Chain A
């Protein structure tokens, strides 16, 4: 239970980080739309690459959450048994 008690703030932080990165991605999408409408093509590729990098970070964080949960549950089941 102590592990879970420490984990909650950690995962709250991770979810907050995920949400923040999502807002940055929204901003990148808005910038790409603006650039596409204004015929400024050199902005488009960096915006897409940056958005992809943020997605990979998000996917990494999600994988960490799932893996951590799995390990914790296995540990608890081992302790119960």
Chain B
């Protein structure tokens, strides 16, 4: 007989070192470790997003002429694209005479919203969402976030889009 413990230990025990009655301990400990590691990764990711969010510079938007002010009658609308040609927007003249503009992309699932004359709302035909035309806040249906507002400036009889407020 040799004194070397490795020679006494059968090969199968080297391959399966966990005793059957210890199995539950290992399983739950490993699961708890795995979940805590995931938790640490999520803290790190949230921290990284926070740092990125605080240090991100505000986006620079171009100043772009949208239309003649007189081209939009009371209660009327005009479609335009801002800040790029891939971003559809809608310009409205409210019954008070004030001009407002919003992104035309519904914040629910990105369908195009349309103005409902007389209702004072922007309506999304896909899932019957509705937004208040005065402030862009959702008033009905599945959307929970307001429409991005386009900041406007009036100058020399024209209206200009100057920024997007998310």
Contact = CB atoms under 8 A, between A and B. Distances in A.
Interface of A: 4, 8, 11-12, 14-15, 18-19, 21-22, 25-26, 28-29, 32-33, 35-39, 41, 44-45, 47-48, 51-52, 54-55, 58-59, 61-62, 65-66, 69, 72-73
A5 B117 CA distance: 69
B36 A25 contact: no
B53 A22 contact: no
A48 B47 contact: yes
A25 B42 contact: yes
A62 B53 contact: no
Contact of A29 (B32, B46, B56): B46
Contacts of A25: 39, 42-43, 46
B166 A38 contact: yes
Nearest to A60: B36
Interface of B: 22, 24-25, 28-29, 31-33, 35-36, 38-40, 42-43, 45-47, 49-50, 52-54, 56, 58, 166
Secondary structure at the A interface, as helix, strand, loop or mixed, is helix
A49 B8 CA distance: 54
B49 A36 contact: yes
Given A47-B46, A48-B50, A21 B39 contact: yes
Contacts of A61: 32, 36
A74 B42 CA distance: 34
